[in-house]
């Protein structure tokens, strides 16, 4: 299995890499993408990927950090995007929920990262929260320019999923799907998301699957099978078949080796 999103740089996972990777491998999670959400986090993700054979990195600026996007960071990101261990541009997008960065700065950083993805041919690792109209409009222009990628940690409903799929973007599913209350829209959206267009992720240490029971206080890649089981059940599929399909999807999108 492939976990397409883990925040190894987070305070909750700091210093736990050896045991996290060991438990992930034991659970059948053999490939992991370390998520870059800022310049510093992207540098950490790339360094981590360079030290672990089955870890790759994304590099980009999350909308929360968009206010720090500047010429100096662009130069640093250009070098990272050229690295073969960086398999996606992002996490990038728009977030109008907490507004840690102003809208115009979020859009400017997102536009620049879209351009980088088109230029490099690498997929976008996307984030959208409470910003669907602007986000979809920018993705339409991106798709027309040749951009592709995945809407990471998708939590919206069927209409939004269909809009992204129609533009050619895949959908990333987290443990949010195991929450029958907060995840009801996502659970409904799975009926319109084809199995060959979805990806599995933990977004660790966040969004711990509700069906995983109580072990550690944080989410981790070893819990990805619980996300797979929930998705398979909702789609009326065998969990092994669903996991195999999602793995093939992620390997294709991110150009990961066997």
List residues forming the annotated binding site for a divalent metal cation: 91, 127, 152, 203
Tokens at 44, concatenated: 């950490």
Q: Which residue has the tokens 């990195």?
A: 57
Annotated binding site, which residues? 91, 127, 152, 203
Find all residues with CB under 8 Å of 71, minimum gap 6, and list them.
none
193-215 residues labelled b (16+ CB within 10 A) or e (exposed): bebebbbbbbbbbbbbbbbbeee
Mode of pairing for the β-strands spanning 124-129 and 149-151: parallel
How many other β-carbons are positioned within 10 Å of the β-carbon of residue 46? 22
Q: Is the peptide bond before 205 cis (omega within 30 degrees of 0)?
A: yes
Q: Are the beta carbons of 171 and 5 closer than 8 angstroms?
A: no
CA-CA distance, 141 to 124, in Å (whole number)? 14
Mode of pairing for the β-strands spanning 86-95 and 124-129: parallel
């Amino acid at each position: 299995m492939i976990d397409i999103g883990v925040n190894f740089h987070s305070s909750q996972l700091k210093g736990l890499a050896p045991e996290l990777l060991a438990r992930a491998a034991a659970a059948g999670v053999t490939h992991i993408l370390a998520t870059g959400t800022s310049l510093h986090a992207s540098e950490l993700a790339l360094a981590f990927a360079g030290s672990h054979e089955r870890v790759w990195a994304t590099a980009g600026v999350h909308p929360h950090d968009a206010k720090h996007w500047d010429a100096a960071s662009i130069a640093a990101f250009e070098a990272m995007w050229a690295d073969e261990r960086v398999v996606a541009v992002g996490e990038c997008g728009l977030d109008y929920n907490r507004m840690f960065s102003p809208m115009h700065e979020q859009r400017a950083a997102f536009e620049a990262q879209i351009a980088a993805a088109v230029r490099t041919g690498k997929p976008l690792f996307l984030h959208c929260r409470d910003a669907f109209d602007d986000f979809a409009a920018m993705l339409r222009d991106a798709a027309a320019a040749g951009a592709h990628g995945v809407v990471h940690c998708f939590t919206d409903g069927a209409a939004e999923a269909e809009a992204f799929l129609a533009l050619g973007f895949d959908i990333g599913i987290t443990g949010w799907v195991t929450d029958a209350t907060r995840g009801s829209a996502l659970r409904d959206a799975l009926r319109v998301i084809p199995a060959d267009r979805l990806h599995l992720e933990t977004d660790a240490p966040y969004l711990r699957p509700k069906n995983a029971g109580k072990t550690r206080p944080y989410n981790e890649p070893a819990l990805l099978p619980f996300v797979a089981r929930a998705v398979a059940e909702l789609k009326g599929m065998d969990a092994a078949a669903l996991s195999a399909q999602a793995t093939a999807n992620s390997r294709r999108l991110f150009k990961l080796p066997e």
